[in-house]
Amino acid sequence: MKSSFPTVSKALVRLFPAGLFAASTIVLSAAGLEAAGKAEIDPEQLRFFETKIRPVLADACYSCHSEDAGKTKGGLAVDSRQALLLGGDSGAAISPGTPRRSLLIQAVRWEDEDMRMPPKEKLSDEEIADLEKWVGMGAPDPRGGAASLPRTEIDIEKAREFWAYQLPKATEPPKTSRNSWARTDIDRFIAAGLTAKGLEPAADADKQTLIRRAYFDLIGLPPKPAEVEAFLNDNSADAFEKVVDRLLASERFGERWGRHWLDVARYAESSGKEANFTYPHAWRYRDYVIDAFNTDKPFDQFVKEQIAGDLLPARTLEEKRNQMVATGFLALGAKSLNEQNPRQFAMDLADEQIDTLSRALLGTTIACARCHDHKFDPIPIHEYYALAGIFLSTETLYGTPRVQGNRRASDLLKITDDSEPVDPGRILTASERARMEQLLEDAQEQRQEMFAEARQARQRGESSDGNQNQVQRRQQFRRLNDRINTLEARLNSHDELGIPCQYAMGARDRDNPIDARILVRGELDKAGDRVERGFISVLSPSAPPRIDPGSSGRLELAEWLTSADNPLTARVMVNRVWLHLFGRGIVASVDNFGSTGKAPSHPELLDWLAARFQNNGWSVKSLVKDVVMSRAYQLSSDFNAKAYNADPENALIWRANKKRLEAEAIRDSLLAVSGQLDLKRPHGSTVLRAGDGFVGRNIREDQIKAEHNHRSVYLPIVRDMVPDSLAVFDFAETSLVTGQRDNTTVPSQALYMMNSGQVTRAAERLATKLADTGKKGGELIEQAYTMALSRKPTESELKNAVVFFRDFTPAVAEDIGNRDRVRFASLVGFCQALFASAEFRYLN
């Protein structure tokens, strides 16, 4: 590998301002660069590199810039991170974190005529955008030396020795010196871990903290003052259990825990990417998920329905309908609907489904084996294509019209449900139908005339090349075709009575299932051997189910995923539940149980929970109750310096983690406390009412972003257009499996709580409610604290509030004048201060 430290130094001078560079000593050495290349990589970043970056570099760059090819033109190699950092004759190829300063990005953009890479054919816009995103996130790169290393034959039996590929073992909870402290078997595992490290658990949380924690964790809403008071006055031994049982039985439970699953299922109501078409019927899957958690549908059945609901037996029409809706799980992903090559689109769709399924249910990055054997886990490329055959044999129905910008139109699943309410605004009257049919007939006649004109022009030998009239006619034809397709879609979406037909996104088997060919480097023009449909060997300790040659294999896949012989499905789900209750998973990398993920902090406890989960009929509610009733869950968040030094991440659970509420819980709390929250489930979605279309073209932003006062789980989730109230507080990335959301603290969050219209309205409504109580002085302040923070103010807080009201009046009296208006304005300001406090957004 060629390196030039003077060249690199010059590049660094260009990157850093003179003052900063002079004040800092920057040393680059081979050892330092090697360490940079081996830095720990976030699992999601690793997946992004393996699926988006490595294939592009290998296909477009390695032939001229790699040690393996024996070529390093311009002194540049790109087959390792060190090589990219060292760069070549022109300087460092990448500047991690700053794409615009990276020569690699400038080269692939073709900004400089003398530095266009690859020189013969420019990368696609999507590939360039991926490279920019990669450099922007710091250029995470697991490669050490040469990029293309020969892979030895995978020893599956040896690979199964890894903890995640062994079946869970339900060991007896350990006995420790803290047995008297433990209330449940879960506590005995926790106590053993603390004892081994010589650590003491924190004290128990007080009842006021505990009820607020339970309400938000189980239903995502704050307790009402009367509910807090009732719990504080209940001194029975089962007081907390009664609260937990009531919350588990509430319909709000499904709305809270259903949203957790929607993060994992990458739920959204549009296709995203370069042609962002709406998914008007995605809401049915959302409601299916909420209902599944409310009814405590066994998780293994929940999984089967999402993979192969259309193939499962059903006792009633309603059950069959729900099972069909469940397969929307496979259809919800982001899609490049403008992709010209249908084979490329089909492979990309299958890849997205494999990636979602494997990370959501198995915590495994199977999609990393699309272009080569998995670099880190024992998954050979041929087993990736064995799974791909299952999805290539499946027809994915997402329902977008064939109009300009959408080359990959799709049908929907037609379902029936006579009990479903009909939105009067969506009924097609007889006169409207007649008018639309006439418009369609006129458009079709016009299209036939254009066909005839085009034939006559060809017969006259007229060329369309460079002919402005021909260009205009083609544009007119495209617009006319879009109009015809849109009218047909609207008419076909209603029955003869004008009642809207009921559709759902989902999947069904193709008439002729196929086995996939291995694509070398994932490229369509490099097809290899055909691979029989099948499963992942390392996750199949016994013989997997045999796939019926006449079916896609989805039913067998669903059975394999939920089999007692599958080592991961139960483990992954109980770990997700643990994460949402404790703020950290037993396996911290909740979507990656592979070799690049984190080892479990309590492996025996994870196995015990997984086995108990299965033995209890895969009941999520029973699992949640088991965890919530443990003493470990009910600890305070008090700090302990010794424990912190020994376990700063609190992996051993020596205290409760302080948690920032998710975006939905913050918004819902604002509405609930101010008396605005509408707990009725809305029918459908704003996107359903907006209809089919291209977001930003014929679907306006204001049609989709309309706010309402229902729970946040019912807000429209359109890719690249998430409501501000959710986006500002780290809403899930809608195109990826998101087991754990980011948790940032940025100025925009504080600014939102101080300045947004929604918070201001909530403060005004709460102030009105407080004023209506007739309370004044200390009683009024106490009531405000109880409603907003579920507790009474401390003495110092009470004094500070009195000072606030005293100082507020003269500060605004001159501007407002009227004394009553001044008093109300001060109360609004006080309520908004409570909403803007950190305590409103955090759980202790």
pLDDT digits (tens, 9 = 90+) for 475-493: 787 787 777 777 777 776 7
C-alpha 333/C-alpha 336 separation (Å) is 10
Distances (CA, A) of 321 to 121, 285, 502: 49, 11, 10
Residue 555's closest CA among 292, 268, 312, 830? 312
User: Where residue 456 falls among pLDDT bands split at 50, 70, 90?
Assistant: confident
Cα–chain-centroid distance for residue 89?
Answer: 42
Residue 609's closest CA among 304, 208, 171, 126? 171
Which residue shows structure tokens 């040469």? 146
Is the per-residue pLDDT at 7 higher than 50?
Answer: no
β 506-509/502-504 pair status: unpaired
Is the per-residue pLDDT at 69 higher than 70?
Answer: no
pLDDT of residue 654: 97
DSSP string across 149-182: -PPPPP-HHHHTTSGGGSPP--PPPPP-TTTTT-
pLDDT digits (tens, 9 = 90+) for 29-63: 333 333 334 446 777 788 888 888 888 888 888 87
Is the per-residue pLDDT at 13 higher than 60?
Answer: no
Residue type, 746: V
Which range scores top for mean pLDDT: 176-185, 276-285, 542-551, 816-825? 276-285
| Mean pLDDT of the 88-104 span | 80
Cα–chain-centroid distance for residue 680?
Answer: 25
Q: How many CA atoms lie within 13 A of 126 on its CB side?
A: 11
Neighbours of 177 (CB within 10 A): 9
Of 147-161, 226-240, 531-545, 675-689, the poorest mean pLDDT is in 147-161
pLDDT of residue 35: 38
Residue 725 in contact with residue 663, Cβ under 8 Å? yes
Is the per-residue pLDDT at 819 higher than 80?
Answer: no
Residue 142's closest CA among 226, 57, 264, 267? 57
pLDDT of residue 24: 28
Residue 94 in contact with residue 82, Cβ under 8 Å? no
Output Rg (C-alpha) for the chain, integer angstroms: 30
Which residue shows structure tokens 């998920």? 289
Residue 325's closest CA among 356, 283, 296? 283
| Mean pLDDT of the 149-170 span | 82
DSSP string across 584-616: S-SSSSTT--STTSPPPSSHHHHHHHHHHHHHT
C-alpha 749/C-alpha 837 separation (Å) is 11
Using a 10 angstrom Cβ sphere, with 0-12 exposed, 13-18 middle and 19 or more buried, the burial of residue 175 is: exposed
Q: Which two tokens stand for residue 200?
A: 């003491």
| Mean pLDDT of the 150-166 span | 83
Is the per-residue pLDDT at 336 higher than 70?
Answer: yes
Is the per-residue pLDDT at 67 higher than 70?
Answer: no
C-alpha 755/C-alpha 106 separation (Å) is 39
Beta bridge partners of 527: 519
Q: How many CA atoms lie within 13 A of 735 on its CB side?
A: 13
- pLDDT averaged over the chain? 87
Q: Which two tokens stand for residue 434?
A: 């007649």
pLDDT digits (tens, 9 = 90+) for 658-689: 999 999 999 999 999 999 999 999 988 999 98
Cα–chain-centroid distance for residue 456?
Answer: 54
pLDDT of residue 6: 31
Summarize the chain as % helix, strand, coil (round to 5). 50, 5, 45
User: Which bin fits 537, alpha (ψ -120 to 50), beta or left (φ > 0)?
Assistant: alpha
| Mean pLDDT of the 110-126 span | 81
C-alpha 133/C-alpha 143 separation (Å) is 18
Residue 577's closest CA among 524, 620, 521? 620
Distances (CA, A) of 796 to 489, 491, 591, 793: 65, 66, 45, 8
Beta bridge partners of 530: 517
Q: What per-residue string of b and e applies to 190-201 under the rule 16 or more CB within 10 Å gives b?
A: bbbbbeeeebeb
Q: Is 72 helix (H, G, I), strand (E, B) or coil?
A: strand
Helix residue spans in 92-199 (DSSP H):
103-109, 125-136, 156-159, 185-196
Report the run of H or E that residue 659 belongs to, with start and end: strand 659-660
User: Where residue 705 falls among pLDDT bands split at 50, 70, 90?
Assistant: confident
Q: In degrees rounded to 5, what are phi and psi of residue 368?
A: -65, -10
Domain boundaries, the chain: 5-136, 185-249+568-659, 298-418+507-561, 428-499, 661-743, 754-843
Neighbours of 277 (CB within 10 A): 29
Residue 670 in contact with residue 603, Cβ under 8 Å? no
C-alpha 739/C-alpha 593 separation (Å) is 12
Beta bridge partners of 72: 65
pLDDT of residue 216: 98
Q: Which two tokens stand for residue 347?
A: 């492979």
